[in-house]
Structure formats: structure tokens, C-alpha cells
Amino acid sequence: MHPSVRSAVDWMRRRAENVVAALLGIMFVAFIIQIVFRYAFNFPIGWTSELSVITWLYMVLLGSAFWLKESEEIRFDLVSESMGPRARRIVGIVVALSIVVLFAMSLPATIKYVSFMKVESTSYLKIRLDVLYSVYVVFAVAIVVRYLWALWQLARREEPDTPATTDVSSGL
């Protein structure tokens, strides 16, 4: 990858990490507020639960679209690890092409449905659902772009960012 593109991707990944960390902080504070109001004041409030769900949704979708590296994704590689490099490349191309085609095919219907959701809003925070769920459209487009990039790498006979199974990671 060209150094300027690599630095732009790294910068975007760091900003996505900042956003995910901020969302995690907001979710934690809302959770603590919810506990205090429910058990200390015997006054349950609903907006904290709604905010926790919204921040979790955004953390998962934005984090997996922009922050998570290819090598950090969960994989079931029992079959692919037993294959040779050429077969692994072919399987990678089939998988990446399938993901691109399926997400691209679902995109028009997804956009239409998200647009339709403008008639509803959340119960407590009164956020329109089209605004709230538009993050999924961003996620879907990012996944298409990510796997188009993987296809490009595989077509050029480059190995995508894959971890060695013997490497030590976070242990999770």
C-alpha cells in the first residue's frame, strides 16, 4: 500500500478508535446513572437504557467498519489453514466476492427501509429511527469497500492482513 494511503487509513482507524472509546464512556456513564436512579432513589429512568443500546449499536457497527483490522476479525479457519496458499487465495476471492455482492445487493433495500423509518422515533430520546439506523448504511458501504480492497489484494496475489495462528494476541 502506498505510504500516504497507509497513513490516511491509520489516521482514520485512530479516529474511529477515539469515537468507539467515547461511545463506551457514554454507555458506562448512562449505565451507572441507571443503577443509581433505580436502586438508590427507587426511581427507574428509561432514557439511560435507550442510550446504552444506541451507543452499543454504534460501537459495534462503526468499530467493525472502521477500527477493526482484518487480522482481528473472528474466523473459523479450520479448513482454510489446511489448504495451500493458492487454494486459500481462491477461497478468499470467493468469500470476498460473495460479501461484496450480497452487501451491494442489499444496499438499495436497506437505504429504502432506513428512509422509511423516518415515521418512527425512539421512546425516550425522541431520535428519529432513520437518523439512528443510518449507521447501518455507513457500515454496509464500509464493508463493501473493505472487501473490494481485499479482492484487489488477492487478485494481485498479495496476502491480506491475516494473523499467524501461533502469534500471541490479547488472549481473548
Answer yes or no: is pLDDT of 161 > 70: no
pLDDT at position 1: 65
Task: Tell me the whole-structure pTM to 2 decimals.
Answer: 0.80
Could you tell me where the DSSP H helices lie in the chain?
3-35, 47-62, 85-116, 129-155
Q: What is the mean pLDDT of residues 41-62?
A: 93
3-state SS assignment for residue 41 = coil
3-state SS assignment for residue 79 = coil
Q: What is the mean pLDDT of residues 126-150?
A: 94
pLDDT at position 12: 87
Distance spanning both ends of the chain, measured CA to CA: 29
- Long-range pairs for 77-82 at CB < 8 Å and ≥24 separation? 77/165, 81/165
Q: What is the mean pLDDT of the chain?
A: 87
Nearest one of 152, 124, 103, 138 to 47, comparing CA atoms: 124
For residue range 77-135, what is the model confidence (pLDDT) as tens digits? 777 778 888 888 888 899 999 999 999 999 999 999 999 999 999 999 999 999 999 99
For residue range 54-82, what is the model confidence (pLDDT) as tens digits? 999 999 999 888 887 776 776 667 777 78
